[in-house]
Amino acid sequence: MSVATSKQFPLDWSVIVYLTGIHAVALLAFLPSNFSWGAVGVALFLHWVTAGLGVTLGFHRLVTHRSFETPKWLEYFLVFCGSLSAQGGPIKWVGLHRMHHLYSDAEGDPHDSNRGFWWSHISWMLHKIPQDTDIPRYTKDIADDPVYQFLQKYFILLQVLLGVLLLYLGGWSWVVWGIFVRLVAVFHCTWFVNSASHMFGYQTYESGDRSRNCWWVALVTYGEGWHNNHHAFQYSARHGLQWWEIDFTWMTIQFLQALGLATKVKLAPNKREVS
């Protein structure tokens, strides 16, 4: 996105301060006194819980696209995990992502990649975009749910409580790594789906936009990087459609299926059927 275009939208200083603060505190991880293998392990585990179970499985494949169904208690648990990613509450996240698919890489897409890598990766969040006011139109199925309302309103408080727990269990190093380093990693891994997966990689299907299958984004997002496949078959619970397209989230859904906790799983047709 050009500088002139970005200036059409006023800056959102609350988001700028919020994201800058989290990134700044994460830099404390470079102090030797804040390093421990236990802290790194906590960060990796919470990355999987919040980005893998929460954002990818819960926010995205379950709630946004309803590519499968779970018992309500499990849906709430997964959405709770996603709320710990501190990417905003679930109602706003789902609404903006549904808009992205409806207007992908066109006017109306909150993070239209035609406006440049920086815009689609982070800059769109640093501005007050008009799509924010349209969220209620796209979230009527969840907007009145009291659990979703609570998580939308108090997702930052949940992060604070998690930080207090980590401080008690492992000290300041666990807070630095388990909260701030982990959040920075989760942020950018998620944002790469919006930016890199619309610019780098290959297209298997004609999806009408710039979405790409990008292996390294898939690796750090538990399968979300097979983005062209996803845009071609938005309803599909499985994103990695070829044998080499490893999709850890699809493996998780298969595990839930085996336990009887994932039902009505929607899948893309066999590639031969759509060639």
Series of mean pLDDT values for 10-residue runs along the chain (275 residues): 57 97 98 97 98 98 98 98 97 98 96 96 96 96 98 98 98 98 98 98 97 98 98 98 97 98 95 47
208: left (phi over 0), alpha (psi -120 to 50) or beta: left
H or E stretch covering 126: none
Contacts (Cβ under 8 Å, ≥6 apart) of 92: 132, 135, 152
Reference 220, options 256, 250, 191, 181; nearest CA is: 191
Residue 143 lies in a domain: yes
Structural domain contains residue 256: no
pLDDT at 147: 98
What is the per-residue pLDDT for 154?
Answer: 98
Which pLDDT value is given to residue 8? 80
Q: Reduced to 3 states, what is the DSSP secondary structure of residue 220? A: helix
Residue 234 lies in a domain: no
**Token digits of residue 127:** 């501005």
Structural domain contains residue 259: no
Domain count across the chain = 1
Q: Which of 246, 229, 220, 243 is nearest to 65 (CA)?
A: 229
Give, in degrees to the nearest 5, the angle at Cα 224 between 195 and 43: 90
The pTM assigned to this predicted structure is 0.94
Structural domain of 133: 3-204
Count the alpha carbons within 13 Å of 152 in the hemisphere toward its beta carbon: 17
Residue 193 domain flag: yes
Instruction: Say how far apart CA 204 and CA 206 lie, in whole Å.
Output: 7
Tracing tokens 């509450």 back to the chain, one arrives at 89
66 found inside a domain: yes
- The residue among 246, 186, 239 whose CA lies nearest residue 53 is 186
71 within a domain of the structure (yes/no): yes
Amino acid at 155: F
Q: Please answer whether residues 89 and 151 qualify as being in contact, where contact means their C-beta atoms are separated by less than 8 angstroms.
A: yes
Has residue 271 been placed in a domain?
no
pLDDT at 220: 97
| Residue 12 near residue 128 (C-beta atoms within 8 A) | yes
What pLDDT, on the 0 to 100 scale, is given for residue 271? 62
Q: What is the structure's pLDDT at 186?
A: 98
For residues 97 and 59, give the distance between their C-alpha atoms in angstroms, rounded to a whole number.
9
